[in-house]
Structure 1
Amino acid sequence: MRVLQGITGAVVVLGIFSSVLRTLVIPRPTRSGFTQIVHGLVRRPFQLVADRLPEAESKDRVLAPVAPLAIVVTLMGWLACFMVGYALLEAAVSRLPFQDAMVESGSSLFTLGFASGSRVTLNVIDFCAAATGPVVIGLQIGYLPTLYAAYQRRETEVTLLQSRAGSPPWGPEILARYAQVELLHSLTELFRNWERWSAEVSESHTTYPVLIHFRSPKANRNWLIALLAVMDAAALRLAFNPSHPKAEVRLALRAGFVCLRDIADLRGIPYDRDPHPDDPIELTYEDFLHGVARMADQGYPMERTPEEAWPHFRGWRINYEQLAYWLARDIDAVPAPWSGPRRTTVAVRTPVTPVDRRPVG
């Protein structure tokens, strides 16, 4: 029995140490089963409530605390598991009942010292437990500034996009607004910025997966919908304007769907790595024409007709549509045109962006 307790305790302690290292220390995409389970359990009751609410704003208010709460619960789960693991080890190397071993373990883990005794056989385990508690808490405290710095960098660009793409953002709206204010020459800068943004999000959201579920400060903003809008704008630009510079547009588009694929690889989402340009997409030609009409209303110049541009646009969108729709449903992103259905709502076809008007005279 004591041998079994010792083996179980060692497995628990080493397994939780592995989870801590994978989550807080190792600077590369790694999956921790423990944190995934905790985050899923924390999110489930909030998601059940959100699924029963009709308004996107109400859903956002319910889901906003999930990711920060999951971080706190994960820390508490780590400490609780360490306490149980060290208690099993102490019960194995001494004749303490498990209840007394839990008191000894908790006293050492949280450096309280009230249960310390003269048992020489427990000194090493007590010292390890006493070091574990502060180290794990210190790592978590040091982890938070890095996490929130990545979140703030992500949201800065999303917020800047609001005046350029509407709220929530929409790909055709980006081109329409740039045409409206006669700034189409500045699109290169926009795509260059979002190429870098995609690279940063790919790195931060695979290293710290909890960021995927961090929601924007405003209910009508979302990092994934913003990225999808920029990618759609890039695909439309390539489809309708083949004579214009393509380098920055194509790089931004590729960086965007590479970002989505990196996140999908981390989460174990299957997808076609080499889709054929003629494969079907979920966006209908009717919805495509609706977006093109918005661009035409604001004077966006088009070198191809919609019929000629549609195959080119579809050939680009096939690279990212499936993953974008899956992730938008998974995180319950704000409903927006061309972004697919959500968990409890159908796809949005009518643009919800306001119409800016130029001064007359």
Structure 2
Amino acid sequence: MRVLIGVIGALVVLGTFSSVLRTLLIPRPTRSVFTRLLHKTVQVPFQFVADQCHRFETKDRVLAPVAAVSILFHLVGWLAGAWLGYSMLQTAVSGFHAMDALRETGVALFTLGFASSRSVELTLLDLCAAATGPIIIGLQIGYLPALYSAYSRREAEVTTLQARAGSPAWGPELLARYAQIGLTDSITDLFRNWERWSAEVSESHTSYVVLSRFRSPRANDNWLISLLAVMDAAAMQLALNPSHPQADARLVLRTGFVCLRNIAAVWRLPFEPDPSPDTPIRLTYEEFAGAVAHVTAHGYAVERAPEQAWPHFSGWRVNYEDLAYRFAYLLDAVPAPWSGPRRTSKEDITPVTPVDRKPNVAC
């Protein structure tokens, strides 16, 4: 029995260290079962309360602490796992009762220093436990600056987009506002910035999975909705104006849906890696035609009629629509046009386009 307890204890300690390494140190998409279980334990009660809310602003406030609480629970879970594993090893080596083993290990793990043993084997276990506690806490503290630095870079572009694409962001609104102020030709600069942004988010949100759950400082902003708006704007430009420069629009689309697919792979969400351009999408032609009317009313010039542009637009959108809708549902992102349903709210929020007011010049 003591051998079995010792083997289980060693497996618990090794599993705890494996989870710490996968979550904090290995710079690639690796996520342990223990980490997923801890995150689910935190997510479920917050989501239950949020589902009872009728206003999105209230729901957003309820869900805002989820990521931070999840990080705290990771630390508590790792320390608890180390405590349990070393206590089982103490029991196997010394024959201590459970409470005595927990006391001996807890004193060493948290470096309290009021209990010790003269046994060489127990002293070695105490030293290992004493090193484990500060190592886990130190790694967690060092993990936070990298996490919040990636979050800050992500949100800087999301905030900048608010003035360009509305709040919440919407792809046609982006084209309309650029046309209003005569910057349609420079929209390629925005596409280049968001191509780089998508690559950074792909790297950071697969290495630090909890980042996807970090919500924006303002309820109407969301990283997923912003990315969807930029991709929709690029797809509309390619569909409506084939003579315009295409390279940057095509690259931001490809980088954007690759970003969503990389994150989906970590989340273990299924997706079609190479969908046919003829596959139907959930956005309707009527919605697309209404958006074309919206952008043209604000000065955006088009070369194709909506019925001609629709097959080209849907052929691009099929690459990312399904995953964007899945993530918007799972993350309870702000309801926005062209972003699919939510858990408890089916409404769409249509952004209002500001009117440029020009001074009257007396003749």
TM-score, normalising length from structure 1?
A: 0.98
Distance (Å, rounded) in 2 between the aligned partners of 1:313 and 1:360 = 38
Match of residue 126 from structure 1:
126
Distance (Å, rounded) in 1 between the aligned partners of 2:171 and 2:103 = 59
Q: Deviations over 1:74-128 (max 9, x none)?
A: 1001001100000000000012111100000001101111111212220111111
CA displacement at 1:328 relative to structure 2: 0.4
Distance (Å, rounded) in 2 between the aligned partners of 1:39 and 1:296 = 46
Distance (Å, rounded) in 2 between the aligned partners of 1:53 and 1:291 = 31
SS in 2 for 1:333: coil
Match of residue 51 from structure 1:
51
Task: Report the residue type matching 2:62 in the other structure.
Answer: V
CA displacement at 1:347 relative to structure 2: 5.1
Match of residue 353 from structure 1:
352
CA displacement at 1:52 relative to structure 2: 1.0
Distance (Å, rounded) in 2 between the aligned partners of 1:280 and 1:353 = 29
CA displacement at 1:179 relative to structure 2: 0.2
Match of residue 196 from structure 1:
196
CA displacement at 1:358 relative to structure 2: 2.9
Match of residue 256 from structure 2:
256
Match of residue 113 from structure 1:
113
Q: Does 1:316 align with 2:306?
A: no
Distance (Å, rounded) in 1 between the aligned partners of 2:304 and 2:343 = 36
Distance (Å, rounded) in 2 between the aligned partners of 1:36 and 1:188 = 39
Match of residue 95 from structure 2:
95
Distance (Å, rounded) in 2 between the aligned partners of 1:72 and 1:310 = 48
SS in 1 for 2:235: helix
Match of residue 288 from structure 2:
288
Is the 8 Å Cα contact of residues 194 and 252 (structure 1) preserved in structure 2?
A: yes
CA displacement at 1:354 relative to structure 2: 4.2
**Runs of 5+ consecutive residues of structure 1 not aligned to the other structure:** none
Distance (Å, rounded) in 2 between the aligned partners of 1:155 and 1:106 = 40
RMSD of equivalent CA atoms: 0.9
Task: Report the residue type matching 1:351 in the other structure.
Answer: T
Distance (Å, rounded) in 1 between the aligned partners of 2:93 and 2:355 = 74
The 5-angstrom pairing of residues 224-263 of structure 1 reads 224-263=224-263
Task: Report the residue type matching 2:211 in the other structure.
Answer: L
SS in 1 for 2:280: coil
Match of residue 207 from structure 2:
207
Is the 8 Å Cα contact of residues 340 and 347 (structure 1) preserved in structure 2?
A: no
Query: CA 1:58 to 1:133, structure 2 compared with 1: closer, same or farther past 3 Å?
Result: same
Corresponding pairs, count? 360
CA displacement at 1:355 relative to structure 2: 2.7
Is the 8 Å Cα contact of residues 16 and 78 (structure 1) preserved in structure 2?
A: yes
After TM superposition, where is structure 1 displaced by more than 6 Å over at least 4 residues in a row?
A: none
Match of residue 5 from structure 2:
5
Q: Deviations over 1:278-319 (max 9, x none)?
A: 110000111112211210110100000000000000000000
Query: CA 1:285 to 1:347, structure 2 compared with 1: closer, same or farther past 3 Å?
Result: farther
Distance (Å, rounded) in 1 between the aligned partners of 2:194 and 2:306 = 26
Task: Report the residue type matching 1:109 in the other structure.
Answer: L
Distance (Å, rounded) in 1 between the aligned partners of 2:260 and 2:328 = 11
Q: Deviations over 1:30-71 (max 9, x none)?
A: 011111111111011111111111111111000000000100
Q: Identity of counterpart residues, as a percentage?
A: 63
Match of residue 148 from structure 2:
148
CA displacement at 1:357 relative to structure 2: 2.8
Task: Report the residue type matching 1:119 in the other structure.
Answer: S
Distance (Å, rounded) in 2 between the aligned partners of 1:324 and 1:186 = 26
Distance (Å, rounded) in 1 between the aligned partners of 2:352 and 2:19 = 43
Is the 8 Å Cα contact of residues 231 and 252 (structure 2) preserved in structure 1?
A: yes
Distance (Å, rounded) in 1 between the aligned partners of 2:357 and 2:23 = 50
SS in 2 for 1:291: helix
Distance (Å, rounded) in 2 between the aligned partners of 1:285 and 1:347 = 19
Is the 8 Å Cα contact of residues 155 and 216 (structure 1) preserved in structure 2?
A: yes
Match of residue 71 from structure 1:
71
Match of residue 167 from structure 1:
167
Task: Report the residue type matching 2:355 in the other structure.
Answer: D
Is the 8 Å Cα contact of residues 116 and 123 (structure 2) preserved in structure 1?
A: no
TM-score, normalising length from structure 2?
A: 0.98
Distance (Å, rounded) in 2 between the aligned partners of 1:95 and 1:247 = 70
CA displacement at 1:360 relative to structure 2: 4.2
Task: Report the residue type matching 2:155 in the other structure.
Answer: E
Is the 8 Å Cα contact of residues 177 and 353 (structure 2) preserved in structure 1?
A: no
SS in 2 for 1:71: helix
Moved more, 292-301 or 215-224: 292-301
